[in-house]
């Protein structure tokens, strides 16, 4: 069963890319394949989008595509894998298993599906948003066993997706919790580009003082990207925890 089918199974109305891209943009994203195996990262539009109608949603997505692929950004495609309109419906952007350009780190852009909530500063939060996000979380877990949903600010220093949406995400029932590890190692200038090894079997990447689980392959990729690193033994990690660092 595809992720789109899972969305529909969980009561989310789903719109394929062709419903906004036909005659305007490629109906299949030109971006590269990516595993998208770890879960999802939630974003918002940023600037207010106002009280748009359902009929205006395709045009709004086309405007985002035009901005992202234009001279200001120069990306291959719209940044997000999917968009969520203010009515709680999901629209295909780049789509599943496709490298996105939304979260500022290659690790996040290849392992976590990027969802844009189509609201911005000052827009009212849709009453159905928590149910929609819970349905997305459930769909991804059912589809590939990934049980992690977070938000853009968790990954890189940014206001996205706003405090209210963050509170909604953090209150989704059964949401997976971040591993209990020290919240700060290294100086603040490199915090969101910091990775370290926990023992010899478990690897964690640090972005903005928070941690994502990593595979050995991802750790090797981080090394290739020259991300600053330190190595910790299990004893050193325990000592840092005890010291409250």
Residues 185-229: tens digit of each pLDDT = 333 333 333 444 444 445 555 544 445 555 565 566 555 555 555
| Stronger pLDDT, 52 or 171, i.e. the higher one | 52
Say what the pLDDT of residue 59 is: 98
Is 146 a residue whose pLDDT tops 90? no
Numbered ranges of CATH 3.40.80.10 in the chain? 3-170
- As a whole number of angstroms, the distance between CA 165 and CA 170 comes to 9
pLDDT classification of 81: cutoffs 50, 70, 90: very high
Q: Which residues, at least 6 apart from 168, have a Cβ–Cβ distance to it below 8 Å?
A: 125, 129, 130, 133
Look up residue 197 and give its two tokens.
Answer: 């090894």
The CATH class given to the 3-170 domain equals alpha beta
Rg (CA), the chain: 18
Q: Please state the rounded mean pLDDT for residues 76-92.
A: 97
Say what the pLDDT of residue 193 is: 37
Say what the pLDDT of residue 209 is: 45
Contact 18, 28 (CB under 8 A): no
- Mean model confidence pLDDT for the chain: 80
Angle at 120 between CA 107 and CA 15, to 5 degrees: 70
Q: Please state the rounded mean pLDDT for residues 228-235.
A: 58
Q: What is the pLDDT of residues 99-125, one digit of tens each?
A: 999 988 788 899 899 999 999 999 999
Say what the pLDDT of residue 187 is: 34
Say what the pLDDT of residue 148 is: 82
Q: What is the pLDDT of residues 19-45, one digit of tens each?
A: 999 999 999 999 999 999 889 999 999
Say what the pLDDT of residue 62 is: 98
Give the total residue count for the chain: 245
Look up residue 43 and give its two tokens.
Answer: 């974003």
Say what the pLDDT of residue 106 is: 83
Q: Which residues, at least 6 apart from 123, have a Cβ–Cβ distance to it below 8 Å?
A: 48, 49, 50, 86
H or E element, residue 138: helix 129-144
Q: Please state the rounded mean pLDDT for residues 94-103.
A: 96
Q: Which residues, at least 6 apart from 193, have a Cβ–Cβ distance to it below 8 Å?
A: 207, 227, 228
| Stronger pLDDT, 23 or 158, i.e. the higher one | 23
Q: Please state the rounded mean pLDDT for residues 88-100.
A: 97
Say what the pLDDT of residue 155 is: 77
């Amino acid at each position: 069963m595809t992720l789109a089918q899972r969305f529909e199974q969980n009561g989310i109305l789903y719109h394929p890319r062709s419903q906004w891209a036909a005659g305007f943009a490629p109906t299949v994203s030109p971006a590269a394949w990516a595993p998208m195996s770890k879960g999802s990262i939630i974003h918002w539009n940023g600037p207010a989008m106002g009280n748009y109608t359902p009929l205006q949603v395709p045009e709004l997505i086309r405007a985002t595509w035009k901005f992202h692929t234009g001279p200001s950004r120069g990306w291959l495609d719209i940044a997000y894998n999917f968009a969520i309109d203010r009515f709680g419906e999901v629209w295909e952007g780049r789509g599943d298993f496709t490298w996105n350009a939304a979260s500022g780190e290659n690790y996040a852009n290849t392992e976590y599906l990027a969802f844009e909530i189509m609201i911005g500063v000052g827009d009212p939060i849709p009453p159905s948003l928590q149910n929609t996000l819970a349905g997305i979380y459930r769909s991804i877990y059912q589809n590939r066993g990934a049980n992690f949903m977070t938000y853009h600010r968790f990954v890189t220093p940014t206001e996205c997706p706003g405090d209210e949406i963050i509170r909604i995400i953090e209150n989704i029932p059964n949401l997976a919790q971040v591993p209990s590890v020290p919240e700060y190692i290294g100086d603040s200038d490199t915090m969101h580009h910091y990775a370290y090894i926990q023992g010899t079997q478990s690897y964690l990447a640090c972005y903005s003082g928070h941690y994502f689980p990593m595979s050995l392959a991802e750790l090797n990729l981080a090394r290739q990207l020259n991300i600053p690193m330190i190595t910790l033994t299990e004893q050193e990690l325990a000592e840092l925890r005890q010291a409250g660092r």
